[in-house]
Amino acid sequence: STWSNVVEGPPAILGITEAFKADKNPKKVNVGVGAYRDDSGKPYVLPSVRAAEKNIFARGADKEYAGITGVPAFTKAAATLAYGPESAPLKDGRVCITQSISGTGALRIGGDFFAKFYPGEKTIYIPAPSWPNHKVLFTNSGLKVKEYRYYDKTGIKLDSAGMLEDIKNAPQGSIILLHACAHNPTGIDPTTEQWADISKLIKEKSHFAFFDMAYQGFASGDINKDAAAMRQFVADGHNVAVAQSFAKNMGLYGERVGSFSLVTDSPAEKKALDSQLKILIRPMYSNPPINGALIASEILNSPELTTQWLGEVKGMADRIIVMRESLKSNLEKLGSQKDWSHITSQIGMFTYTGLTPEQVGRLAQEFSIYGTKDGRMSVSGFNSGNVEYVAEAIHKVTSS
Ligand code: PLP
Ligand code: TYF
């Protein structure tokens, strides 16, 4: 037949959710996919998002097409959120920005743009490990993908020396992908001092810094703190690229709201790049969906809703921080002799537990606790009703 050459491929991360759904155990826990859950284990629609939806509906907003680069009131506010209201390149009018199909779409626009226009080495270096989608996404864009060392498995910490060495040894003018905050999957970020060294080295080597910012506000509860590394790079004179997502910090997962932006040297250069971004995007999807962008815009352009939203982001971040402490103290209470300090020192959506694939397999089979094979667990899958159970299960598989 026509498709006889097509063989079935491996399941994506969503396979974990399928296994979870099929499990009849009432105690089952899903810590696979990174989507926030409230303390009763339910998806959470932010009250500020509901309020924004009401306003949009009450206004009788139409369903006309946006332009190729999306809803201007949204992208303007999104840029200010990422770069900060005092950002020099924003004030100078030299930041290109386009709406995107969430963070993934932003990365893909970036990948395609680099593949077409980047004058230097068309190789992008991603951390080892990284969000699994990075490698295939940039490869499909036509970039060569290589890795830099990031995670020190023995110490469960950043391999700072390895990272710097690999960035140093990359050919002059390579593209370096950096997680802006809350590194996925490890939950381990460079310190402010380490970021300063990375920025300096990237400058010296004339590399290009591409920030994947999927968790602004979600890591620390503070949108400025979580953007600090990226803003420092801009202040250091890097013309960065940024992929921004509103999936996590506004809980707009399925609405697919994000942006791709580039800092340029001048408004004239920005104009040229803006035109090429449009030429790139038009044959992909003509223009992006408007609903989520209107919601984000409504929040970011209303001081009251912004204040409310910031409180809600902090609420999500704080619940995750409390769950980290609870998991760790429960493990200690059970008498676990292992060092679990990384559970509370890591930040963001995930804890990289250090469990082996075999232990992860036992968690699923014996306890109906579903995480990814690399030992990553989505902390928001924990709640006051299941954290003790999870701690007991982790203690059992790590002590026998
Ligand atoms: N980048 C990282 C590091 C992520 O963890 C994610 C997923 O949450 C994304 C990008 C893209 O997510 P989305 O396309 O839902 O915005
Ligand atoms: O790593 C995660 O679990 C989140 C959610 O294609 C996610 O980043 C996972 C896979 C995917 C999109 C989002």
Average pLDDT over residues 233-252: 98
What pLDDT score was predicted for residue 16? 83
Ligand 1 center–CA 351 separation, angstroms: 16
Residue at 368 is within a domain:
yes
Q: Residue 32 corresponds to which tokens in the numbers above?
A: 């696979």
Q: Are residues 347 and 257 in the same domain?
A: no
**How many whole angstroms separate alpha carbon 16 and alpha carbon 31?**
9
Q: Which of 301, 334, 349 is the last residue of a domain?
A: 301
Residue at 90 is within a domain:
yes
Q: Are residues 41 and 85 in the same domain?
A: no
The one catalytic residue among 112, 159, 166, 212: 212
Q: Is 102 in the pocket of ligand 1 (CB under 6 A)?
A: yes
Can you tell me which residue has the tokens 């959506």? 349
Q: Are residues 264 and 381 in the same domain?
A: no
DSSP letter assigned to residue 100:
E
Q: Is the pLDDT of residue 126 over 80?
A: yes
Q: Is 127 in the pocket of ligand 1 (CB under 6 A)?
A: no
Q: Predicted confidence band at 78 (pLDDT cuts at 50, 70, 90)?
A: very high
Q: Is 184 in the pocket of ligand 1 (CB under 6 A)?
A: yes
Q: Are residues 295 and 329 in the same domain?
A: no
ω into 129 cis (within 30 of 0): yes
- Quick check: is 3 catalytic? no
Q: Which residue has the higher pLDDT, 95 or 12?
A: 95
Q: How far is CA 109 from CA 142, 200, 244, 245, 277, in A?
A: 12, 27, 12, 13, 8
pTM, whole model, 2 decimals?
Answer: 0.96
Q: Which of 301, 323, 343 is the last residue of a domain?
A: 301
Q: Is the pLDDT of residue 77 over 70?
A: yes
Q: Which residue has the higher pLDDT, 373 or 14?
A: 373
Q: Is the pLDDT of residue 318 over 70?
A: yes
Q: Are residues 31 and 160 in the same domain?
A: no
Residue at 143 is within a domain:
yes
Residue at 53 is within a domain:
no
Q: For residue 224, give the nearest of 91, 83, 347 by alpha carbon.
A: 83
Q: Is the pLDDT of residue 195 over 70?
A: yes
Q: Is the pLDDT of residue 53 over 70?
A: yes
Q: Are residues 297 and 320 in the same domain?
A: no
Average pLDDT over residues 93-102: 98
Specify the number of domains making up the chain: 2
Q: Are residues 82 and 32 in the same domain?
A: no
Residue at 144 is within a domain:
yes
pLDDT over 70, % of the chain: 99
Q: Are residues 238 and 137 in the same domain?
A: yes
The one catalytic residue among 131, 195, 309, 340: 131
**Could you list the residue range(s) of the whole structural domain that residue 200 is in?**
65-301
Residue at 50 is within a domain:
no
**How many whole angstroms separate alpha carbon 6 and alpha carbon 74?**
41
Using the atom order of ligand 1, give the atom closest to the CA of residue 130.
3
Q: Is 74 in the pocket of ligand 2 (CB under 6 A)?
A: no
Using the atom order of ligand 1, give the atom closest to the CA of residue 34.
8
What pLDDT score was predicted for residue 263? 98
What pLDDT score was predicted for residue 201? 98
Q: Which of 268, 301, 334 is the last residue of a domain?
A: 301
Q: For residue 259, give the nearest of 275, 273, 247 by alpha carbon.
A: 247
Ligand 1 pocket test target in 131, 349, 376, 378 with most atoms within 8 Å of CB: 131
Q: Is 184 in the pocket of ligand 2 (CB under 6 A)?
A: yes
Q: Are residues 293 and 325 in the same domain?
A: no
This model of the complex carries an ipTM of 0.94
Q: Is the pLDDT of residue 121 over 90?
A: no
What pLDDT score was predicted for residue 33? 83
Ligand 2 center–CA 34 separation, angstroms: 6
Q: Are residues 294 and 360 in the same domain?
A: no
Residue at 52 is within a domain:
no
Contacts of residue 252, Cβ cutoff 8 Å, sequence gap at least 6:
49, 246, 292, 295, 296
Q: Is 133 in the pocket of ligand 2 (CB under 6 A)?
A: yes
Q: Are residues 341 and 194 in the same domain?
A: no
- Quick check: is 76 catalytic? no
**How many whole angstroms separate alpha carbon 122 and alpha carbon 126?**
13
Using the atom order of ligand 1, give the atom closest to the CA of residue 245.
16
Q: Predicted confidence band at 13 (pLDDT cuts at 50, 70, 90)?
A: low
Using the atom order of ligand 1, give the atom closest to the CA of residue 131.
3
**Residue 178's domain is classified under what CATH number?**
3.40.640.10
Q: Are residues 214 and 75 in the same domain?
A: yes
Tell me what the pLDDT averaged over the chain comes to.
Answer: 96
Ligand 2 center–CA 125 separation, angstroms: 20
**Residue 353's domain is classified under what CATH number?**
3.90.1150.10
For ligand 2, atom 1, which residue shows the shortest CA distance? Answer: 34
Q: Which ligand is nearest to the CA of 348?
A: 1
Residue at 309 is within a domain:
no
